[in-house]
Amino acid sequence: MVVVLVAIGVMLLPPGHKKVHPPNDDPWVLVSYDPDNPYGTYLGNGFISTRIMGDGVGSQTKTMPDGTIKTEPLPCYMAGLYDDEKLILIPTWSDLRFYDGKKQFVIDRNADYKQTLDMRTGILTTEATWRAGRKTLTGKIEVIVSRAQPNVGLVRATLTPNFDGRVLAETLIQSSPPNIDVYAHGAPHAVRPPSGYREPYVFLGRTKSSKVDIHLALMHARSKGWSVTRKGDLRGYSESRSVESGEAFDVASVALVDVRNPRALAQAVKAMDVEGLIAAHKAAWAKLWEKDTKIDGPKKDQQALHSCMFYLLQSVREGSQWSIPPMGLSNNTFSGHVFWDADTWMFPALILQHPELARSIVDYRYYTLKGAMENAKASGYAGAEYAWESGMTGREDTPPGLVYRHERHINGDVALAQWQYYLATGDLAWLKSRGLPVIRATADYWVSRVTKNANTGLYEIKRVIPPDENADLVDNSAYTNAIAAMNLRIADRAARLCGARPNPKWTEIAGKIGANMKGIMTELNQPEKRTAAPVVIDNLIEPAQAVLTEYLFLSKKAVSAVTPRP
pLDDT at 193: 56
489: amino acid identity, one letter: R
For 109-192, strand residue ranges (E) read: 114-118, 123-132, 135-145, 152-161, 165-172, 180-186
Query: Is 29:115 a contact under the CB 8 Å cutoff?
Result: no
pLDDT at 65: 84
Find all residues with CB under 8 Å of 376, minimum gap 6, and list them: 382, 383, 384, 385, 441, 445, 448
**Residues 37, 39, 41, 44, Cα dihedral to 10°:** 160
pLDDT tens by residue, 50-63: 999 999 999 998 88
Q: Which residues of the chain have pLDDT under 70?
A: 1-18, 174-175, 184-200, 222, 230-234, 259-272, 515-566
Is 374 catalytic? The answer is no
CB count in 10 Å sphere of residue 416: 25
pLDDT at 183: 72
pLDDT at 264: 59
pLDDT at 13: 38
- Using a 10 angstrom Cβ sphere, with 0-12 exposed, 13-18 middle and 19 or more buried, the burial of residue 138 is middle
pLDDT at 284: 98
Point out the catalytic residue in the list 244, 318, 469, 508: 469
Q: What is the pTM of this model?
A: 0.88
Find all residues with CB under 8 Å of 454, minimum gap 6, and list them: none
Beta-sheet strand order (sheet of 76-83) = 41-44, 48-52, 76-83, 86-90
